[in-house]
Structure 1
């Protein structure tokens, strides 16, 4: 068996790539200002961990609408309603952005992709602050922020699903005398609906996490009591809130995963 002789570049290429990556990481970390550790850091750290491991169980449910259960339900409602609205509004944008014809430049598809890109540029936290200024603080602003941001992401995923389907059944319906609407309702939508549902469930998982954060700027949900507890250093309350978020997200991820397995 004859061995292939390697060139000097082939022998040293892994070392060169490793050196370049190390230099990039060194350059990136060199720009991070490392502040000195405060003298009270150890005391504060102990207090935080003590509160996290000794959560305030009395905050779970008080019956006055200001407890953990109520805030978690509101967070789920924000995520569900925002995802539901965006899933419906994303469908026309998906068909607008989908490239169904061959060609380097298609004005309709390009326009749709540009619109969805512009929507995705704005983070949910920024949209939440903007809607709070427009409609006031509360869950309504959170729903608007989640739904608008989700349109950009779901529209992109839906359009890719439309682009990847088999066009044969649609073309066969049109060739048999059917209209474009017949091809859409009888061939295209049944083919893409499972993927639409799959992406919607996946987006709902993300929306639950986002809704838990948006409350920190006043957009409703569990984020508001969490930021208040952090500011007032009520670490046992922070601990029970974080525990509630972990349980909620874990259950949602499990149920959504089981549903997506049945759809795919």
Structure 2
């Protein structure tokens, strides 16, 4: 074996074991920072109460002629997720082209775009919801804004990767025929990236449905608001019907979204 080959092999082995060593150190450090205080004595009672609520749900809460009920809460949750996804799917497009690397594009421009998307992703939905609740007041409007702004970071990252992976053949052909940048963008870039854009937006919508159900707990509208009230009142049968409703809604939306994404791709 040549000396160069032996050095390369030794270097790979060192990197391999160094990665494993760092991983083990991080795992041990993570567990050492946790405080295992045990399980409370009431945990079993609460778990059994929630289980009884799931087995004996309050069917009267499904629809009430007056006041909040399950159907209104689920529809409001879906509306929050839809509006938040539409906001992010539209607003993230300029960020995606900003962050996407391209031939002849300055590196600082791409880096600044990626940094902006990373900064937006830093704030969780709950933090965004608290900020918007303080700004516009509690309700579904704050929840929609929170999901819309937070989703810009992730959708922008996925959109930028789709732009970077597109086939440059049609773009070069249109440029050679004398097409301007707008025509190249409209006839060569958008037809290629649109299926990926729609697929990513649907996938983000599935995530936003789950997030919207949680944001209501802090006052951002949706099914989370009656859920937290039922938990505080220890109305386990109402908790059970709300959880069942959320499970059914999320399952149906996942199935429909998955079918649509398969047809798009």
TM-score (normalizing by structure 1): 0.88
Matched with 1:241 is: 242
Distance 1:21 1:98 in 2: 31
| Deviations, residues 113-167 of structure 1 (Å, cap 9, x unaligned) | 1111111111010000000000000000000000001111111100100000011
Distance 1:173 1:200 in 2: 28
Structure 1 window deviating more from structure 2 (35-44 vs 123-132): it is 35-44
Matched with 1:68 is: 70
Residues 18 and 76 (structure 1), Cα distance of their counterparts in 2 relative to 1, 3 Å cut: same
Matched with 2:180 is: 179
Matched with 1:11 is: none
Matched with 1:208 is: 209
Distance 1:73 1:166 in 2: 40
Structure 1 window deviating more from structure 2 (32-41 vs 122-131): it is 32-41
Matched with 1:7 is: none
Distance 2:60 2:132 in 1: 33
TM-score (normalizing by structure 2): 0.88
Shift of 1:17: 9.6
- Secondary structure of residue in 2 paired with 1:63: coil
Structure 1 window deviating more from structure 2 (252-261 vs 85-94): it is 85-94
Matched with 2:117 is: 116
Residues 229 and 158 (structure 1), Cα distance of their counterparts in 2 relative to 1, 3 Å cut: same
Residues 42 and 156 (structure 1), Cα distance of their counterparts in 2 relative to 1, 3 Å cut: closer
| Deviations, residues 25-51 of structure 1 (Å, cap 9, x unaligned) | 555334322225444444333322212
Correspondence list, 1:39-188, <5 A: 39-101=41-103, 106-188=107-189
How many residue pairs get matched? 254
Distance 1:98 1:17 in 2: 29
Matched with 1:257 is: 258
Runs of 4+ residues deviating >4 angstroms: 16-27
Instruction: Please give the root-mean-square deviation of Cα atoms over the aligned residues, in Å.
Output: 2.6
| Deviations, residues 56-84 of structure 1 (Å, cap 9, x unaligned) | 11101112240000000000000001101
| Deviations, residues 179-210 of structure 1 (Å, cap 9, x unaligned) | 01110000000010000000000000000000
Distance 1:166 1:247 in 2: 40
Shift of 1:223: 0.7
**Unaligned runs of at least 5 residues, structure 2:** 1-15
Distance 1:70 1:101 in 2: 50
Residues 44 and 203 (structure 1), Cα distance of their counterparts in 2 relative to 1, 3 Å cut: closer
Distance 1:23 1:117 in 2: 26
